Amino acid sequence: MGKFLFYRLLQAVFVIIVVTLIVSFTIRLTGDPAVMLSQGSGSVTEADLEMIREALGLNQSFAAQYVQFIQGLVVGDMGRSFVGGAPVMDLISRALPATLWLAFASLAVSIVVSIPLGIKAATSRGTWVDQLIRIVSLVGLSFPNFWLAIMLVLLFSIVLGWLPPSGMSGIASFIMPAATMGIILTATNVRLVRTTMLDTLRSQYIMVARAKGLSNTVVLYKHALRNCAIPLITYFGLQFGGLLGGIVVVERVFNWPGLGSLAFDAVAARDYPVLQGVITVLAMMIIVINLLVDIAYGLVDPRVRKE
Amino acid sequence: MWNFQRLGLELAPDSTEQPVKRNVYVAQAPLLSIQSLSVNFGSNSVVRDLSFDVRAGQTVAIVGESGSGKSITSLSIMRLVHTMNAEITGGRIVFQGDSGAVDLVAQSEKAMRRIRGKDIAMIFQEPMTSLNPVYSIGNQIVEVLRLHENHTRASAREEAVRLLKLVRLSDAESLLKRYPHQLSGGMRQRVMIAMALACKPKVLVADEPTTALDVTIQSQILTIMRDLQREMGMAVIFITHDMGVVAEVADQVVVMREGVKVEEAPVSELFARPQHPYTKALLAAVPKLGSMSGTDLPRIDPLVVMAGDETRSVGTSRVQDTARTGEQPIVEVTDLVTRFNVNKGFFGGVSHRVHAVENVSFSIYPGETLALVGESGSGKSTIGRTLQLLQESTSGDIRFSGKAVADMTRAEKMRLRQQVQYVFQDPFASLDPRKTVGFSIAEPIYTHSLLTGKKAVQKRVEELLERVGLSPDKADRYPHEFSGGQRQRISIARALASRPKLIIADEALSALDVSIQAQIINLMMDLQQEEGLAYLFISHDMAVVEKMSHRVAVMHLGQIVEMGPRRAVFESPAHSYTRRLLSAVPVADPARRTDRPLIEGDIPSPVRAIGDEPERLILQEVAKDHFASIEMQ
């Protein structure tokens, strides 16, 4: 286990360096933050811009800036935002929980809905129930998430007035963003659960479980489901990574105070330190999720455990 | 002729050849009575109007070839056919329960759940897949105990330990915590039996419970099942395709064909005086161990086939004197070693090796059949793949017609691939489903540029199809349009296409029904006679080996433990492993049924830690051309 964690840590460091290097380099190709910052402040001379650049440390070479960023990272300092000067660490630690909660809520909604639906589709294979579930999930898959989000706001906030249209304030505010993300995930997950379940149900041990006299529910949820777990966990883990990326759009629509909004604003303002910080944290999250997935494999399937 | 007394060592002292006492059944209502059962797959009828009775303590064997409906019958008794999308369309299955007779067909699903696993339990064919891989052995046994009987968690565990001891698994306590993948096939099947017997069922349905097991393990399982049946007095419905196993276990036999019962009789009656022509043909097709006693050479026998209400013999009897041992051997193998690395270390370091083949030496002469026999993991298939140059050897010398493979040029190796052909076990997987069979047969002809011109090739393909007993106009059909036996004929035609000198047949008959198997045996022997072919016949089936081979090499853990003329090895086996293998084979003759002693132990693994080299066996000539390794006793 010690060796395993050490190996994973090395892997993590490598991934973070590569990801931040690419992001820091490419963002610097897209525009000058000094120009962005001085917009709307009347006549700005080249000397003024130079002063701003010097103040932000942008007059140094890219290599020097990057080394500085990494040095800061090691001691837990990600610099200050170009806009407003707040420490990046503070900004992220305020936004991260909001995003994590939303991501977990979306994934939870999708898992809770897709597992029973997928199993139902598998066990009633070829009947109208199966067809219906498949068609509905295909429809769900075809919605663009921003469109779905806007439609939900129109219906539930503006027409019916049941739910708050934006911001994060209590459980009710989670419903629409989580549902938007969840519906799209559910659509793919139902199909995944159905396929793995059909495979598993063909196994001999399922027949053995039935021959023991076990009820259908026990056969499906105890004997079959855990055997579907490896492909499902793998996919759910991958999804979580995608979820963090895809959340930007939904956070914008619902004005959700998370990492997505933070990153969006940072790109618009060429706020390098914030963007680098957000990307680094997202990369770390994905590494942690992968680690959790590997640990989960061992928990659900004894064949994966190391002797 | 071999018998148990001669086998010495591993037998209990009182194991003399005694006929087993037959159970006598008092006139009583049958425990289970199947009455006019019919089962359909959609509009396809798979079982029609089937009736038979099973009494307490009795073993009824249902035998038949693939498609006979025997497995569907077993699932019907469990009322589980709906899970296979089949449906019981008529008849009754009357079960004498504690509270009187009930018709299982009419029971609700809920009522059936109380009967399944409690009154009627079932064992399945594949021990490797019939236990749930993600739950511990203990969990799976405790589950059924707690479902049907009033057990606390603790008392159920205790009972589970008792059950595991009952099926003679040692260290039962720690076994509870282990998972199926940590157990061998034989151990898993014993766990399965323990699970089935947990609630002391009145009826045990066993669907091919030993088919996937090696013969010594099969023998263990059959002994355990027989002993427990006597102890518990339950009725057993034993589904099998193996007449040897039937002769060994059954009291009453039901023979099925294409969903219909063709004959039912007490076992001795059925074997001695089969009535229906199908039963006669089936029994004639079964190779019986010991049937070649007293003869030196293989013999081709006429086939017995059904002809209306009669049977008819096709072909003649002929002694297969084709081996040309005076000539230069086609293949000479000296000190062949093949090892595979197993990565068990964390960073992919090698800590273990599979010693698949260790210091094996043998020759194959033109026109000869050399059989390689052994159980799983004995290395017999690896040798076959090495000869076909599909597998690199670790060390050793292989010569074809006197020329070492190591010294061959690319062109010579290509020629070698032409002269050595392979026929595989699974006729369904060894033909490309997207190519016509004509294409598959013609491919080696093109690859080795044996003929030029489309016409000439087409003519040769038609010849080959005819040669293996298929109509030449079938060349443009696809593999799925043929049955398993026909596909194996096509595989043989493909092997013949490049005019080989040697065909390696790796379990080529194992997946076939016995009647088809008998046809292919005769085909292979005819081809040997006419084309002067040599065969390396790799098999675990001792009876087929006895029928076909000139010489036999017995393999155990990668090494040859005994090698010699077939008669010598079968009639005076010199090595204890050979004797053990022979004694474990069920013989298709109920008159020779014995109270077989339990063969102990599992099949050892050829995986060894680095540095832990296996001991090299030295073969000694015990009689003319008959070699066996010396054993320390």
Domain boundaries along the sequence of chain B: 30-119+204-275, 331-586+599-629
Cα B53 to Cα B36, B50, B69, B88: the distances in Å are 11, 10, 17, 18
Phi, psi of B437 (to 5 degrees): -65, -30
Query: Which pLDDT belongs to residue B596?
Result: 64
The tens digit of pLDDT for each residue in B393-451 reads 889 999 998 889 888 898 888 888 889 999 988 877 888 989 999 999 999 999 888 88
How close A288 comes to chain B (CA, Å)? Answer: 21
Name the maximum alpha-carbon separation found in chain B: 79
CB atoms within 10 A of CB B270: 26
**Chain A residues in contact with B148 (beta carbon < 8 A):** 213
The verdict on a CB contact (< 8 Å) between B80 and A212 is no
pLDDT band at B595 (very low <50, low <70, confident <90, very high): low
Place of tokens 């010579």: B412
**How many alpha carbons lie under 13 Å from residue B497 in its C-beta half-sphere?**
31
**Chain B residues in contact with A306 (beta carbon < 8 A):** 346
Q: Is the pTM of this model over 0.95?
A: no
How close B333 comes to chain A (CA, Å)? Answer: 39
Q: What letter would DSSP give residue A80?
A: B
Query: Which pLDDT belongs to residue B38?
Result: 95
CB atoms within 10 A of CB B132: 24
Cα distance between the two ends of chain B: 25
Residue A275 in 3-state DSSP? Answer: helix
Residue pair B218/B585 in contact by the 8 Å Cβ criterion: no
Q: Which of A209, A211, A213 sits opposite B114 (nearest CB)?
A: A213
The verdict on a CB contact (< 8 Å) between B130 and A301 is no
Which residue out of A7, A127, A205, A223 would a mutagenesis test of the B interface target, given it has the greatest number of B Cβ atoms within 10 Å? A205
Query: Which pLDDT belongs to residue A306?
Result: 59
Q: Which residue of B has its CA nearest to A225?
A: B134
Query: Which pLDDT belongs to residue A41?
Result: 67
Token pair of B205, please?
């349905």
Cα A301 to Cα A228, A291, B355, B471: the distances in Å are 10, 16, 29, 51
Q: Which of B112, B121, B346 sits opposite A3 (nearest CB)?
A: B346
The tens digit of pLDDT for each residue in B606-624 reads 788 777 788 888 888 888 8
The verdict on a CB contact (< 8 Å) between B147 and A227 is no
Query: Which pLDDT belongs to residue B16?
Result: 43
**Chain B residues in contact with A208 (beta carbon < 8 A):** 122, 124, 130-132, 192, 195
Q: Which residue of B has its CA nearest to A300?
A: B134
Cα B229 to Cα A205, B2, B224, B369: the distances in Å are 24, 28, 8, 42
The verdict on a CB contact (< 8 Å) between A211 and B118 is no
> Span B34-52, mean pLDDT?
93
> Span A45-52, mean pLDDT?
81
In angstroms, rounded to a whole number, what is the distance separating the alpha carbons of residues A239 and A246?
Answer: 10
Query: Which pLDDT belongs to residue A1?
Result: 62
pLDDT band at A290 (very low <50, low <70, confident <90, very high): confident
Q: Which of these ranges, A95-104, B362-371, B586-595, has the smallest mean pLDDT? A: B586-595
A1 touches chain B (CB under 8 A): no
> Span B574-583, mean pLDDT?
90
Top-confidence residue, B462 or B351? B462
Query: Which pLDDT belongs to residue B4?
Result: 35
In angstroms, rounded to a whole number, what is the distance separating the alpha carbons of residues B207 and B202?
Answer: 16
Query: Which pLDDT belongs to residue A200?
Result: 92
Phi, psi of B627 (to 5 degrees): -115, 145
Domain ranges, ordered by start, for chain A: 103-258
The verdict on a CB contact (< 8 Å) between B132 and A209 is yes
In angstroms, rounded to a whole number, what is the distance separating the alpha carbons of residues B522 and B611?
Answer: 47
The tens digit of pLDDT for each residue in B460-491 reads 999 999 888 888 888 999 998 888 888 989 99
Q: Which amino acid is at B240?
A: T
Query: Which pLDDT belongs to residue B490?
Result: 92
Query: Which pLDDT belongs to residue B264?
Result: 96
Q: Which of residues 317-356 of B touch A (CB under 8 A)?
A: 346
Q: Which residue of B has its CA nearest to A2?
A: B346
A131 touches chain B (CB under 8 A): no
Q: Which residue of B has its CA nearest to A298?
A: B134
**How many alpha carbons lie under 13 Å from residue A197 in its C-beta half-sphere?**
23
**Chain B residues in contact with A300 (beta carbon < 8 A):** 134
**Domain B331-586+599-629, architecture per CATH:** 3-Layer(aba) Sandwich (3.40)
The verdict on a CB contact (< 8 Å) between A303 and B179 is yes
Q: Which of A205, A213, A229 sits opposite B130 (nearest CB)?
A: A205
Query: Which pLDDT belongs to residue A127?
Result: 87
Q: Which of A212, A223, A227 sits opposite B147 (nearest CB)?
A: A212
Top-confidence residue, B349 or A59? A59
pLDDT band at B142 (very low <50, low <70, confident <90, very high): very high
Percent of chain B clearing pLDDT 70 (strictly above): 93
Query: Would you say the CATH fold of B331-586+599-629 matches that of B30-119+204-275?
Result: yes
The verdict on a CB contact (< 8 Å) between A214 and B346 is no
Per CATH, domain B30-119+204-275 is 3.30.70.330: no
Burial of B143 (0-12, 13-18, 19+ CB in 10 A): buried
pLDDT band at A248 (very low <50, low <70, confident <90, very high): confident
The tens digit of pLDDT for each residue in B247-297 reads 999 999 999 999 999 999 999 999 999 999 999 999 999 888 888 888 999
How close B114 comes to chain A (CA, Å)? Answer: 6
A97's CB contacts (< 8 A; 6+ apart) are none
> Span B371-390, mean pLDDT?
88
Helix B185-197 crosses helix B215-232 at what angle (to 10 degrees)?
10
The tens digit of pLDDT for each residue in B500-532 reads 999 999 988 888 888 888 988 999 999 999 989
The CATH H-level superfamily of A103-258 is MetI-like (1.10.3720.10)
Q: What is the mean pLDDT of chain B?
A: 87
Which value, in Å, is the radius of gyration of the alpha carbons in chain A? Answer: 24
Q: Which residue of B has its CA nearest to A230?
A: B134
Please state whether A219 falls in left (phi above 0), alpha (psi between -120 and 50) or beta: alpha
Q: What letter would DSSP give residue B484?
A: H
> Span B100-110, mean pLDDT?
92
CB atoms within 10 A of CB A108: 12
Q: Which of B117, B132, B135 sits opposite A211 (nearest CB)?
A: B117
In angstroms, rounded to a whole number, what is the distance separating the alpha carbons of residues B314 and B229?
Answer: 42
**Chain A residues in contact with B112 (beta carbon < 8 A):** 213
B179 touches chain A (CB under 8 A): yes
Q: What letter would DSSP give residue B19?
A: P
The verdict on a CB contact (< 8 Å) between B78 and A211 is yes
> Span B178-204, mean pLDDT?
90
pLDDT band at B561 (very low <50, low <70, confident <90, very high): very high
Query: Which pLDDT belongs to residue B14?
Result: 41
Query: Which pLDDT belongs to residue A82?
Result: 81
Query: Which pLDDT belongs to residue B633?
Result: 54
Query: Which pLDDT belongs to residue B9?
Result: 34
Of A238, B110, A211, the closest CA to residue A246 belongs to A238
Q: Which of A3, A215, A229 sits opposite B113 (nearest CB)?
A: A215
B309 touches chain A (CB under 8 A): no
Q: Which residue of B has its CA nearest to A1?
A: B346
How close B132 comes to chain A (CA, Å)? Answer: 5
Query: Which pLDDT belongs to residue B1?
Result: 35
A270 touches chain B (CB under 8 A): no
Residue pair B508/B470 in contact by the 8 Å Cβ criterion: no
The verdict on a CB contact (< 8 Å) between A207 and B132 is no
Q: Which of residues 228-257 of A touch B (CB under 8 A)?
A: 229
Token pair of B608, please?
């060894």
The tens digit of pLDDT for each residue in A124-136 reads 888 898 889 888 8
Token pair of A239, please?
């999804």
B12 has pLDDT over 70: no
How close A226 comes to chain B (CA, Å)? Answer: 7
B192 touches chain A (CB under 8 A): yes
B197 touches chain A (CB under 8 A): no
Order of all β-strands in the sheet with B87-97: B44-54, B32-41, B87-97, B100-103
Q: Which amino acid is at B294?
A: G
Cα B298 to Cα A1, B1, B507, B549, B552: the distances in Å are 60, 16, 18, 6, 12
A294 touches chain B (CB under 8 A): no
A217 touches chain B (CB under 8 A): no
Query: Which pLDDT belongs to residue B348?
Result: 53
Top-confidence residue, A100 or B349? A100
**Chain B residues in contact with A4 (beta carbon < 8 A):** 346
Query: Which pLDDT belongs to residue B111?
Result: 93
> Span B546-567, mean pLDDT?
94
Of B560, B557, B569, the closest CA to residue B604 belongs to B557
How close A102 comes to chain B (CA, Å)? Answer: 32
Q: Which residue of A has its CA nearest to B141?
A: A212
Burial of B592 (0-12, 13-18, 19+ CB in 10 A): middle
- What distance lies between CA B138 and its chain's CA centroid? 30
Q: Which residue of A has its CA nearest to B117?
A: A212
Q: Which of residues 82-101 of B touch A (CB under 8 A)?
A: 83
The verdict on a CB contact (< 8 Å) between B346 and A226 is no
The tens digit of pLDDT for each residue in B286-324 reads 888 888 888 999 998 888 888 878 888 888 888 889 989
Residue B141 in 3-state DSSP? Answer: helix
Query: Which pLDDT belongs to residue B2?
Result: 39
B136 touches chain A (CB under 8 A): yes
pLDDT band at B13 (very low <50, low <70, confident <90, very high): very low
Beta bridge partners of B235: B203
A48 has pLDDT over 70: yes
In angstroms, rounded to a whole number, what is the distance separating the alpha carbons of residues B47 and B261?
Answer: 9
Residue B269 in 3-state DSSP? Answer: helix
B229 touches chain A (CB under 8 A): no
**Chain A residues in contact with B135 (beta carbon < 8 A):** 223, 226
In angstroms, rounded to a whole number, what is the distance separating the alpha carbons of residues A17 and A32?
Answer: 23
Dihedral sign for Cα B431, B432, B433, B434, please: negative
The tens digit of pLDDT for each residue in A206-247 reads 999 999 999 999 999 999 999 998 888 888 888 887 787 777
The verdict on a CB contact (< 8 Å) between B134 and A226 is yes
Residue pair A219/A87 in contact by the 8 Å Cβ criterion: no
CB pairs under 8 A between A and B: 79
B235 has pLDDT over 90: yes
The verdict on a CB contact (< 8 Å) between A301 and B134 is yes
